[in-house]
């Protein structure tokens, strides 16, 4: 398999249901279809809330979880 670099486009995607307990693997980023806040756990383990994310935005952050608590954005898709 060829090397994958951080600047490479995603190879896969999956719809995310925000959950305070379910992990989504190690996503390369998130597509946000409906505007709002996105609370996530980074690959390094930090919990962060991105506020006011507009519809259609891509958050280029590696994350392992999209938390239900504090997430108001909708139609989130994980990019792998």
Question: Which CA distances in Å does 79 have to 27, 50?
Answer: 6, 17
**Cβ-count burial 62-80 (b if 16+ within 10 Å, e if not):** ebbbbbeebbebeebbbbe
Which pLDDT tens digits describe the chain residue by residue (80 residues)? 456 676 789 999 999 999 999 999 999 999 999 999 999 999 999 999 999 999 999 999 999 999 999 999 999 999 99
Place of tokens 């980074």: 42
The two tokens of residue 31 are 């597509």
Sign of torsion, CA 15 64 47 5?
negative
């Amino acid at each position: 398999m060829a090397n994958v670099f951080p600047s490479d486009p995603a190879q896969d995607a999956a719809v995310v249901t925000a959950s305070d307990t379910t992990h989504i693997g190690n996503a390369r980023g998130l597509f946000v279809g409906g505007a709002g806040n996105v609370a996530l756990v980074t690959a390094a383990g930090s919990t962060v809330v991105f506020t006011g994310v507009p519809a259609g935005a891509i958050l280029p952050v590696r994350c392992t979880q999209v938390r239900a608590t504090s997430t108001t954005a909708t139609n989130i898709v994980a990019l792998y």
